[in-house]
């Protein structure tokens, strides 16, 4: 039996569909997206997956929701001047959304996308 990446990816894709989890792939021609997701994966792994033993997917979802609330609304981020992302977005973006904040950082208006 072949245990190559294609085989594993097919199994992971089928499992995620059964669990109602959508796979999000990197867009063609956007290799920098990989760096962002790898950074997130490491942060999430250290903050949730490595800290707890889960018995079912609902426990993972509950802990993830708690972690996301803290990560986005409470925890200060050095890259944002020791502010939480939601507070930073409200302070530094006219619309106060993460999408507008991202676009403002790169000197673009959100209407140019």
Contact predicate 68/74, CB 8 Å: no
Residues sharing a CB contact under 8 Å with residue 102, sequence separation 6 or more, in sequence order:
none
**Nearest-angstrom CA–CA distance, 39 and 12:** 21
Question: CA-CA distances (angstroms) from residue 26 to 84, 98, 109?
Answer: 26, 19, 23
Of 2-6, 14-18, 39-43, 69-73, the poorest mean pLDDT is in 2-6
- At residue 113 the predicted structure's pLDDT band, cuts being 50, 70 and 90, is very low
What's this model's pTM, rounded to 2 decimal places?
0.56
Condensed to tens digits (0 to 9), the pLDDT of residues 42-85 reads 999 999 999 999 999 999 999 999 999 999 999 999 989 999 99
User: What is residue 95's DSSP assignment?
Assistant: S
How does residue 13 score in pLDDT terms, banded at 50, 70 and 90? confident
């Amino acid at each position: 039996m072949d245990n190559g990446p294609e085989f594993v990816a097919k199994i992971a894709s089928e499992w995620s569909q059964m669990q109602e989890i959508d796979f999000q792939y990197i867009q063609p021609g956007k290799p920098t997206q990989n760096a962002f997701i790898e950074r997130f994966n490491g942060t999430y792994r250290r903050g949730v997956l490595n800290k707890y033993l889960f018995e079912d997917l609902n426990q993972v979802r509950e802990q993830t929701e708690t972690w996301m609330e803290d990560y986005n609304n409470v925890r200060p981020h050095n890259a944002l001047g020791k502010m939480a992302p939601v507070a930073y977005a409200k302070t530094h973006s006219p619309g106060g959304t993460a999408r507008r904040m991202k676009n403002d950082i790169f000197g673009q208006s959100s209407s140019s996308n």
